[in-house]
């Protein structure tokens, strides 16, 4: 397993470009960026080359989701916009070579049944998997708790499974965020055991509070050991708000315990 920093949230007292350098200085082995599109592909190539870090994950553009809207992926009237969003991301996928491309499911759309939105999500994800079939990437969809994000369509891994059963594509996988799963009251140990063959990417923060390890109640080191024992070979991505001046001793502790 390797350790990545989500620089969309971490080191948020620094400009985005400086966050890449900070991640390298702290010993992270890669970075993920929620939405890289404010910089050009060439700008990202220069930043990543200078830091000698790979870009691990990006999200597809999500429309108005981050502003509290429904987003694109599950909206029955926005299929063309979803397809345009994927087309916009293709130069970033082709040139920056992230291993994971994540899709935010979005919120249930007023005036449409939950099943209609789930069916639209599955159709869009299936189309995206086929579009990306020739790229060395895995498409994921992340369950996000519906307390922080009201009306989110896929709040639990069981919801993800229902969508995945409609897709049946080899390049589709589960992105599991420990914080979101814990917020929904799910057992992380059971989720890991049940979903190990579907796990494409792990994000973590402690719970409650969504802070760095040892600020909450999760036994993160035990979870990382479990992943190791079950043969998980993917990334562990730290995803929580932090500043560059925070104590980052937890990084070396994770490496010593679980990232061997």
Q: Which domain holds residue 208?
A: 2-257
Element (H, E) at 4: strand 2-6
Decide: 6 and 203 in contact? Cβ < 8 Å: yes
**Of 167, 180, 106, nearest to 138 (Cα)?**
167
Give residue-wise pLDDT tens across range 32-91. Answer: 999 999 999 999 999 999 999 999 999 999 999 999 999 999 999 999 999 999 999 999
Report whether pLDDT(232) > 60: yes
Report whether pLDDT(30) > 70: yes
Contacting residues for 146 by C-beta, under 8 A, at least 6 apart: 152, 155, 184
Number of structural domains found in the chain: 1
What is residue 220's predicted lDDT score, i.e. its pLDDT?
A: 95
Mark out the alpha helices in 52-201 (DSSP H runs).
Answer: 79-96, 114-131, 157-167, 178-183, 188-195
The pair of three-digit structure tokens given for residue 9, joined into one six-digit string: 């949230």
- CATH number for position 73: 3.20.20.150
Global pTM value: 0.96
**DSSP designation for 201:** E
Q: What is the mean pLDDT of residues 212-234?
A: 95
Quickly tell me which residue has 């069916």 as its tokens.
119
């Amino acid at each position: 397993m390797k350790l990545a920093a989500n620089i969309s949230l971490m080191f948020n007292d620094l400009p985005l470009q400086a966050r890449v350098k900070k991640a390298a200085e702290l010993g992270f082995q890669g970075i993920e960026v929620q939405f890289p599109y404010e910089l050009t592909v060439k700008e990202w190539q220069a930043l990543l080359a200078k830091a000698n870090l790979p870009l691990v994950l990006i999200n597809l553009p999500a429309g108005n989701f981050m502003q509290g809207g429904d987003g694109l992926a599950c909206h029955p009237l926005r299929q063309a916009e979803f397809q345009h969003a994927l087309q916009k991301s293709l130069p970033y996928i082709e040139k920056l070579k992230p291993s994971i491309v994540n899709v935010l499911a979005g919120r249930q759309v007023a005036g449409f049944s939950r099943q209609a939105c789930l069916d639209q999500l599955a159709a869009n994800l299936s189309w995206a998997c086929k579009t990306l079939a020739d790229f060395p990437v895995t498409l994921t969809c992340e369950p996000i708790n519906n307390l922080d994000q009201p009306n989110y369509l896929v709040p639990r891994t069981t919801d993800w499974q229902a969508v995945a059963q409609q897709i049946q594509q080899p390049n589709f996988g589960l992105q599991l965020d420990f914080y979101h799963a814990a917020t929904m009251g799910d057992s992380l140990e059971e989720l890991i055991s049940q979903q190990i063959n579907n796990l494409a990417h792990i994000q973590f923060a402690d719970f409650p509070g969504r802070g760095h390890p040892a600020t909450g109640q999760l036994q993160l080191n035990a979870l990382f050991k479990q992943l190791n024992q079950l043969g998980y070979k993917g990334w562990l991505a730290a995803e929580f708000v932090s500043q560059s001046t925070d104590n980052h001793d937890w990084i070396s502790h994770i490496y010593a315990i679980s990232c061997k």
